[in-house]
Structures are given as structure tokens and as C-alpha cells.
Structure 1
């Protein structure tokens, strides 16, 4: 697998004029794999938009290496790069403590009589935090405890004491536009988490890193990245 990154050329309005909704970013990612397009094979590509040091980056996790020239279509020339992700995965170990960053679409299903449950987004900070805590065991990790209180992007006050003890924050919460071709415009709940975790099941955790967590994975949600705690 490959983890790739390119700086988005936000200062070039002509270049990024089409990037007005999540579907446009999805198309950008897909066009970065011309061999898959020509071979009529579409693999799943996880991606997200990161804000780092006042700059925006597109981060892509894929089975195949993207065409870096295509990946720079809306990027700053010379900033696209890929690295072997399999080597990183092989270096992970059970019980290891890592810093994590995850952009996700936290949702829940409400039962419908005689039908499949209907999916709704979590709206409150507390429910969005609980969503990740509840999914952590099946995803192969636990969130560490911390003596410092949780910090949330909008300063919400509805976080209970148990959640406040955990070492993770909500660093951003928004509702970007998703426009499908020939369909109406919808807004998607997007939450970015940062914190500290410990690997409790190595195989499950690797699957989480490579397959993503939650819904709307094609539209910039689900990608978790980790780095060792210094």
C-alpha cells in the first residue's frame, strides 16, 4: 500500500475553482489512478483533507501508487509524494502507544418497523466522542486516559467526566457539501479527532488503518493515521 500527500494550491483560484464540494475531491483522487481507469478496475481509495501549518493537504491511502503528476492537478507543483505504507504497518506492535488523527462521519442507526434501520448523523459533541470510544475495541485499539480535559473545536460543554478522562480531542466539526451528478446537494457531518491510543488487537488495527472507520469513505471520511508517541 501507499500513503501519498500533496499540498492543495489554495492560492491559485483558477486551479481549484472546481473544488467546491466533496464529490470534486473524490473525482480528483480517482483521476490520480489512470491505470485503474483504463483497466476498468476501481479500487477503494481512502483520503482526507488536512490542515497543517496554515496549509491544506490532500492525503491518500491506496493499494497502488498514484500518478503523482495527476495528483498535482490541483496541487502545488513539486509537493506530491508517496511512501511505502506496508513497511510502516509491518513495524507496528501489540501494546504500542501512538498519536492518531482521524476524519470520520459518526452516525447511528434508528430501527424502522419492518425495514432496515435508518442512518442518522451524530450531532452533539458527546455523541460524536462516544461514537469513536464505542468503536475502538472492534477497531483494535483503546483510547488512553489523560489528566487533561478534552478540548473540542466549538467549546461545547456537554462532554461528561468519563469522556473528559480520555486522551482525545475534536479538533474540527463541519458540514461540507456533497453533490452527486444529477442529484440534490446534501451536507455531510465531518469530524476530525486527534488523540493517543494503544493497540489492543494488531490484526484488527491494521484493518482499521487500511480499510477505514465509519461511513462515507469515498468522500474523505474514515482515514486514520498514526505516528509513534515521542
Structure 2
């Protein structure tokens, strides 16, 4: 039975500052909330908000977690509103039906695969140095960096993940500058906004390689086309870097839901 949790962290505490500065450390702290170790289940998480006064993390787990360690070390242990919220995720999954529409949010790492990166990272340079024939054939992941590329990345993956993004009558919902507007997909504007873009830089451990992630947060409206595929997407995520807080798709009811069958 899956569970969706919301955990509040206090950015004014030293432990919270350390976790929020490095997705590798935050991922390890999230896995520490599960009793079965080492963790073999799929765990998705996302930094939902991060202000100077409060940060919130959403976490999806297969088994019921405990977040007491995070609250005690990096949250508000005894304060009203400081306790984590843990909800059964099954009722949402049971509402998935062909034609039903939901509001959605997704923070992802839009990438493409190339044979040789133009500006390889430290990790990619090491791979290129030591690569065998199989690795060379597999290629390297490089980030989509423009808003139009990131939007296209999402739109070309929706069908396989069990949903579509319907058109909106209000015109384009994504800000495209002159250099990227020509890359935007043709046709009616989809009901999605690119509400945040960021570049995360951190190390895997104290002496580990540097990691650079280009992230995009999408928000909009989706329509269910395949409930089974969408359920798998909600539980498994979209795209790479899931261990670093990417790929978690969340749904919420629309104010006025469209008829469904």
C-alpha cells in the first residue's frame, strides 16, 4: 500500500541547511525513514517548497514510513504544524479513469541521449576515459536547457505514461524568449506552465564526483488515457535522477472536473 508524506524542515537549523544544499544527502535521509534496510522499494520525493522560513518535502513510499528522525534533527519537534503528514495513496489511484482530468505538478530532469557530450561533466569525462564498447554505444545523457526543449520533452512522453495534456483556449502558457520560441511545438497551446527552472550542483559524498542537474517544474492539467499506465507512472516517476528528487508526478482535483467515462 503506497503512502504519500509531507515533511516540514526548518531552514534555520544546521542539519536542515546541510540536507537542503545537497540532494544526495537528502535522499539518504529520506531512505532512513523506512524500516527495511537496505531499501529496495522505489521511493520518490520532491522538494515542494523552499523558503527562508520553511521547506516542505513530498515523499512517496510503498511501505508506511516514520519521519521522526528528520523532524528531530531538522524540523520542529514540538511545534504545532511541525509533525509530518502521512496519507494512504490508494484512494487517489482508485479514482483514475479514462477521461478524468486532474491538476498536476512534475519536477523532472529533461535529458536526451547523445554519443559524445559537447561539455562533459566530471563523471562523463571519467566514463569517456574508461568506456568500453558497450558504454560508448549506450551514449550519454545531456540536459535539455531551453524552455521549449523541456516542454517538448514532456509532451512527447505523456502518452506512454497514461495521459495527455489537453489544449487550452487562453493561448500559450509557457514563457518562451525569442531564441527558443521557434523550437516550441506547433498547434494549440497545451494546458501546462513551466513554473520553475533550476540547475543543481552538488557532490556524491564528500569526495565523490560533482553532479549537475538541469531541472524543470511543470504545472497544468492532464487527462487520463490509460489508468494502468498512469498508476505505474505515479508510483515509478518520469525521467532520470529520481534519487535526487526528480520525476515525481502528483495529482490534485480540478475545481470543476470534466465528465469522464
TM-score by length of 2: 0.79
**CA contact 1:36–1:43 (8 Å) conserved in 2:** no
- Given candidates 109, 121, 142, the residue that maps to 1:120 is 142
Counterpart CA distance in 2 for 1:199 and 1:191 is 22
Structure with greater proportional strand content: 1
Aligned residue runs from structure 1 range 140-155, under 5 A: 140-148=162-170, 149-152=172-175
Conservation of the 8 A alpha-carbon contact between 2:109 and 2:215: yes
Q: In structure 1, what is the Cα distance between the partners aligned to 2:10 and 2:149?
A: 35
Number of aligned residues: 224
Give, in angstroms, the shift of residue 135 of structure 1.
0.2
Q: 2 CA distance for matches of 1:138 and 1:22?
A: 28
Larger Rg over CA atoms: 2
Distance 2:216 2:185 in 1: 21
Say if 2:152 and 2:185, in contact at 8 Å, map to a contact too.
no
Aligned 1:21-170 pairs, distance under 5 A: 21-33=22-34, 35-37=35-37, 40-51=38-49, 55-72=54-71, 73-77=73-77, 78-111=82-115, 115-148=137-170, 149-152=172-175, 156-157=177-178, 158-159=180-181, 160=184, 162=186, 165-170=189-194
1:14 and 1:84 map into 2 onto residues whose CA distance is: 31
**Per-residue deviation, residues 93-114 of structure 1 (Å, max 9, x unmatched):** 1110110000100011124696
**TM-score, normalization by structure 1:** 0.89
Task: Tell which deviates more after alignment, 172-181 or 197-206.
Answer: 172-181
Unaligned runs of 5+ in 2: 117-132, 256-261
Give a deviation string over 1:15-65, Cα, whole Å, max 9, x none: 3232221111111101111x122xx34322100001289842100000011
Structure 1 unaligned residues grouped into runs of 5+ = none
Structure 1's 58 and 41: CA in aligned 2 closer, same or farther, altered over 3 A? closer
